[in-house]
Structure 1
Amino acid sequence: MTEPGVLGRELRNVRLLVAYDGTDFRGFAQSDGVRTIMGVLTEAVARITRMPAESLELVGSGRTDAGVHGWGQVVNGLIPADTDLHRLTASINALLRPEVSVRGPEWADPDFSARFSATSRTYRYAIWNDRSLNPLLSRHAWHLGPPLDVDAMNEAALDLLGDHDFSSFCRKPKPGPGYYEPSMKRTLQLAQWTREPWHDLNPSPLLRFEVTATSFCHQMVRSIVGTLVDVGFGRLTADSMPAILAEHHRNAAGQVAPPHGLTFHGVSFLGTRWDARA
């Protein structure tokens, strides 16, 4: 299905799978005066499709902070229905390489929204846990020299699974006049640390934390990672998560992990949104 468009051109909903290195960007969401992923992507799509940039409204499945990367970010929006999607993808990648890459372009149903159709999101966080820095991962992994107790970190992570108020792990937005304070209740479906194979090093120094939830609040993943790292160093006990959750205050949790180790890994559109009943 198509919709009436600008300058008499019919428009159709497109869905793009986007990967990016967020090191030199001021986050994902478009913002005036700063370089963002959505900003450069919107400019590229507008240029290639010959649409006015101000009329092109692209929607992402999730926001990422400055320095955070993306592998499975999904973006949708209305573009001319006669667009060759493979040519569009090749042209975007030529303009934005090597920092941004689009793959898996396809036409989507008219009511599809990368943001509002999403049912869960997955992030991955990488740590290089070795005395020596790995320069090949310095832009994409947090370097920590002293050994971490991964078993204790996984034991602590188990207490975060399920439905909780994650106020202790979130940076709360200030509600506008007349608005209620937003809920920090979320459902965590997966939270697990693993060691990723790294050539002939045994055990591997590359640790990976994967976390999936219905949705996330601001800095939630980085706060969880930083707090679990405190467990791994023995600064907090493995059974301290329930008490931290019960405090409902950011000061109860541990440090906030740096952004460069975090990657928005993927989005699921299967099932029902967590807030569908509401």
Structure 2
Amino acid sequence: MTTTDPTAADPSGSAAARPGPVRVRLTVAYDGSAFHGMAANEGVATVAGTLAEALGRVLRHPVTLSVAGRTDKGVHAHGQVVSLDVADPLVDLGALARAVNGICGPEISVRAATIVADDFDARFSATWRAYRYTVLNRPDPDPFLARTAWWVPEPLDLNALRLGCDPLIGSHDFSSFCRRPKGAGPEVTLVRRVLDARWHDLGDGVLRFDIRANAFCHQMVRSIVGLLVDVGRGRRRAGQVAGIRRAGDRAGVPTVAPPHGLCLWEVGYPALGAPTSDPRGPRP
């Protein structure tokens, strides 16, 4: 990767003349099928571990990544955001992205790279995350959607699916839809603020669920989709969703949608002028 020598303007070439490192933001897409989730985990292939290794090779120094969403095993991303510090302040970001994509592609792709303020953090600066879940609702499976959509052959009532979304909007305790972190005490809150949740009919039996919130807890989206699909099948009623949410009982949502239909679509930050939630809200 080609860079410019930051000491070129200083004939002495002294270390004092070198500017400090810069913080870089990457927008990353990936097919999570072959990875054991986003977070680095020794002994297994993860998105963050693979990406950090590639970045270290290209930049020629170790990197520490902060990630906006800790996606689970098999979950995909279109707009995951990663931040890291790069030692060379004159790094060629285009060359960096191309080099990393050459190592990690096609399963992982750096879609954009920008230099950001030193206090930017991909996780803690985020004010909302948006996920998409795809359901293939027709009698026969489609091998070309098998890695990215949950095949549900039974007919689903789209109106019921949409009615089931209403009780999810707003700030609520989502304990019924979340796996509580191991060892978490009573002070750990599972209150999240859902800003939007809706179903779309894309045609040809393809349904898409979009949900945006200030943050999500573990398995929250997949549990919501599992319950709503049960509503669409007629196993539950849309009017029961509010009561299930208020109960705070994980046993009330036995169906968890499979991971391969889920995609982290976008992450919002105040500096981008995007819609925001309360920045004081809980973190994922």
TM-score by length of 2: 0.88
Q: Among residues 80, 83, 89, which one is paired with 1:76 in the alignment?
A: 83
Matches within 5 A, 1:1-278: 10-51=20-61, 53=62, 56-80=63-87, 81-175=89-183, 179-197=185-203, 204-270=204-270, 274-276=278-280
The 8 Å contact of residues 126 and 261 in structure 1, kept in 2 or not, is answered as: yes
Rounded to whole Å, the distance in 2 between the matches of 1:277 and 1:215 is: 8
Separation in structure 1 between the aligned mates of residue 281 and residue 101 of structure 2, nearest angstrom = 39
Q: Per-residue deviation at 1:276?
A: 2.3
Preserved contact between residue 192 and residue 281 of structure 2 (Cα < 8 Å) = no
Deviation at 1:254, TM superposition (A): 3.9
- May I ask how many residue pairs the two structures share in their alignment? 262
Distance in 2, Cα, partners of 1:62 & 1:133: 30
Distance of 2:281 and 2:223 partners within structure 1 = 29
Q: Which has the larger radius of gyration?
A: 2
TM-superposed deviation, 1:219 = 0.1
Question: Does structure 2 conserve the Cα–Cα contact (< 8 Å) formed by 1:125 and 1:262?
Answer: yes
Structure 1 spans left out of the alignment, 5+ residues = 198-203
% identical aligned pairs = 43
Structure 2 Cα separation of the partners of residues 143 and 276 of structure 1 = 38
Q: Matches of 1:37 and 1:183 in 2, distance apart?
A: 27
Return closer, same or farther for 1:211/1:69 CA change in 2, 3 Å cut-off. Answer: same
Q: Deviations over 1:182-226 (max 9, x none)?
A: 1010111111111114xxxxxx20000000001000000000000
239-248 vs 66-75, which moves further: 239-248
- In the alignment, which residue of structure 1 is the partner of 2:3? none
Q: Is the contact made by 1:165 and 1:186 (CA closer than 8 Å) also made in structure 2?
A: yes
Structure 1 residue 174: Cα displacement = 2.5
CA contact (8 A) 1:230 1:254 kept: no
Change (3 A) 1:277 1:228: closer
Q: CA deviation at 1:102?
A: 0.2
Query: Which runs of 5 or more structure 2 residues have no equivalent in the other structure?
Result: 1-5, 7-14
**Structure 1 residues 273 and 188, CA gap change in structure 2 (3 angstroms):** closer
Contact 1:16–1:104 (CA under 8 A) maintained in structure 2: yes
Distance 1:83 1:236 in 2: 55
- CA–CA distance in structure 2, aligned partners of residues 226 and 86 of structure 1: 40
**Residues 108-131 of structure 1: CA deviation (Å, up to 9, x unaligned):** 000000101000000000011011
Q: How many Å separate the matches in 2 of 1:190 and 1:40?
A: 33
Kept in 1, the 8 Å contact 2:67–2:82? The answer is yes
On the 8 A contact 2:28/2:108 being kept in 1, the answer is: yes
Do the aligned residues in 1 keep the contact of 2:128 with 2:276 (CA within 8 Å)?
A: no
- TM superposition outliers: structure 1 runs of 4+ over 4 Å: none
Evaluate the alpha carbon distance shift between residue 36 and residue 168 of structure 1 in structure 2; reply closer, same or farther with a 3 A threshold.
same
**Partner SS state of residue 114, structure 2:** strand
Shift of 1:180: 4.0
How far off its partner does 1:163 sit?
Answer: 1.0
Whole-angstrom CA distance in 2 between matches of 1:276 and 1:187? 11
Please, what TM-score do these two structures have when normalized by structure 1? 0.90
2:199 aligned counterpart, secondary structure: strand
Report if aligned partners of 2:67, 2:123 keep a CA contact under 8 Å in 1.
Answer: yes
Q: Is the 8 A contact 1:28 1:37 kept in 2?
A: yes
Deviation at 1:274, TM superposition (A): 2.9
Check conservation: 2:37, 2:71, Cα contact below 8 A. Answer: yes
